Structure formats: structure tokens, C-alpha cells
Amino acid sequence: MKNLDELRVEIDSIDNELAKLLKKRLNVSLDVAKYKSANNLPIHHKDREVAILDAFAKKFSDEEAPFARAFLKGVIRQSREYQYYLNRNKIPACDANLNPDTVFYPGVAGSHSEICASELYPDAKLIPCTGFADVFEKVESNDYSVGVLPMDNSTAGTVGDVYDLLSKGNFSIVQATTRSISHYLLAPKGSTKENLKQVYSHPQALTQCSGYLKRNGYVAIEASNTAVAAEYVSNLNDLTVAAIASKETARLYNLDIIDEKINDENTNQTRFVCISKKPFITDDANKMSLAFDLPNEPGALSDILAAFSDFGINLTKILSRPIPDKPWEYTFYLDCVYSAKNEYLDGLLTHLRAELPSVKLLGIYHEEEIK
């Protein structure tokens, strides 16, 4: 039996031969790309690919066939990616001057969205909205505005309504930031922790403080927004009713802070996105977001994720949301690292748009580090 060093030398020799063959294949792929471009032909030919894979697998034993098929499938996919890269469509240039005069946010003064908006755009006029959909509607009707919305939370997960609204309309994410969130238990003056019975807040905040509420025997009641809950509790002036909201709302609505930092996780963080009706790509853009639907085929998702890996693009998030009126079908949302110098991103987008039923570029933007 050969020793390990001898086997490795043999494998290295085989790899060298594979490199020569792959180089020849890529050169032919270059000619194929030129021909298809000149004759307006699609790069992906599914039926031919299946036939090639079936014929290739038959050259191997039953035990070897699945691995041989997977090997060639990867080679074919990468050849297509090379052709997409050679025939790539560049991302259109966009305005880089993001300077809105109006900023819309959900809820009322004192909400975490309002606090975030005031820090991001200190010179803009801040206008509250009745909910997430209202923010999108206001941004749609105002050319020089943005909307600030919570999109993800480290404890409670995604804010699904924001994802759904973003994918439906013609909006772009133009900025994002992640903020540490501390929740406070607020009640009318004279209330005590012991006499409280009901607590109002946004469902996400209630989820983030669910352990605290359970330990104290409080009944959780949903409100449209944390600051809306604080305003309601202030107007109700019932010593048995409290709200979970930001520290700032205690002063705004004349409430006492009954308990502080009551979220179950000390590292509770919320990711906020800023949306606009037109795309902006600032010079410091470092993130790209996409939404896409998949064909109902085996391995469709793994093939797409493999393409990101092949192009050397780092994924930072992927999630799925049900498609309304299409049971068990999903839209996928994906974030990846962006660099204006990375031309492979153009090839990747060209690839996705050619092979997927629906692809939407949700934005290329700068995302701040956690504050």
C-alpha cells in the first residue's frame, strides 16, 4: 500500500491535469459566451445540462455516480457563471447625495424609530406615521424624503411586515444601522411595580420582555408602537396599567420609570433601515440587499447560494417569507457584502436575473456598525 505522501503526490499530479483541462474548458466557454451574445441566445440550457450530467454519471459505478454528477454539475455551473461575468450588465450609476429634508417614522415621538431617525438625520423634519404601511405611502408621495423602519431584532427576529412592504413597492434601502435597545417599564405617577396588572407595547417589545412579564404576572397587550403605548397609558392614567417603551417617553408623556432595562437579553439589538423611492449609492456603500423567488426545482436554493460562493461574495443574512396567495412558496431575502470595486457582483446579478423567475435589487447602501 502506498503511504500518504505518495498518494498526495499522485493527487497533485491529477489536479495539475484537471487544471489544464479546466483551462481548455473555460476557453471554450469564452467562445460560447461570444456566440450566444452575438446570436441573442440564453446562457442556461437546462435540458442539455441534464442530458450531459446523465451521460456523465453512467461512466461511473452506482457508488461513484452521485459524486461524479455533483462534480460535473459544479463545473457546468461555474462555466455558466464565467459566461455571465463576461456578458455582465453593470449596476446603473445612482445619485450619491443622500440629504433628505423630511423623514417619516412609525409611531409617535419617543419611539425607538424616532430616536434613530433623529440621530441619523438631525437636520431633517421628522414626521410620525400611523404604522409601517403609512411610512411607505408617505415616502412614495415625497421625492426628498426617507422612511426609518425597524427590520430585524436580535431577540424577536424579523419584522415581517417591513420585508413584505419593501418587496411589493418600488423602494430602495439607502442606509442601515443597528442600535442597542433597552426597554423601560413606564406607568402613571403613583404606580408601583406590585400594583401593575396590564402592560401595553408593540408585539416585538413584548416578545423581547416576555420572560420579565411572565415572572411578574403581567398581562401583555399589543399596541401599534412602543411610544403609542406610552401615550395611551399616560392618557388612561390607570395605576394598574403600564407600558414598555424607551426612557425618553417617560419625560414626553409624564410617566414614572418603574423598572429599567427589562429586556430578557442584555444584548438586545434592532436593525433599522432607511428607505427611499429612488436608489442612492453613497461612496461608502458596503452592503447589498436582494429579494428573489426560486423555481420549484430540486437544489434551486443550493445552486443560487453556490453562485455567491463561486463569485467570492460574502453572505451576511438569508431568510424567507411566504408569498401571499401561493401556499408553500417563498420569497427569499439576502444581504451580502458590497464593494464598488468588485465586478463579480455585476456578473452575479446578471446570473440571478437570467435564471430566476423574479429578482429585485432592494438597495446598495452603507450600514453602520452597532451603536
260 and 182 Cβ atoms separated by less than 8 Å: yes
Give yes or no: 272 in active site: yes
User: d(Cα 145, Cα 137) in Å, to the nearest integer?
Assistant: 11
Active-site pick, 104, 136, 171, 272: 272
User: How does DSSP classify residue 144?
Assistant: T
User: d(Cα 352, Cα 289) in Å, to the nearest integer?
Assistant: 13
Selection from 265, 225, 264 nearest residue 243 by Cα? 225
Is 172 in a helix, a strand, or coil?
strand
Give yes or no: 270 in active site: yes
Q: Which residues of 53-82 are buried (b: 16+ CB within 10 A; e: fewer)?
A: beebbeeeeeeeeeebbeebbeebbbbbbb
User: How does DSSP classify residue 43?
Assistant: S
List Cβ neighbours of 57 (8 Å cut-off, separation of 6 or more): 65, 66, 68, 69
292 — phi, psi (to 5°)? -150, 155
User: d(Cα 100, Cα 143) in Å, to the nearest integer?
Assistant: 9
Residue 66: C-alpha distances to residues 52, 60, 75, 296, 302 (Å): 14, 9, 14, 21, 16
Active-site pick, 249, 270, 331, 350: 270
265 and 150 Cβ atoms separated by less than 8 Å: no
C-alpha triplet 244, 247, 248: angle, nearest 5°: 115
User: d(Cα 146, Cα 144) in Å, to the nearest integer?
Assistant: 7
What residues are annotated to the active site?
A: 270, 272
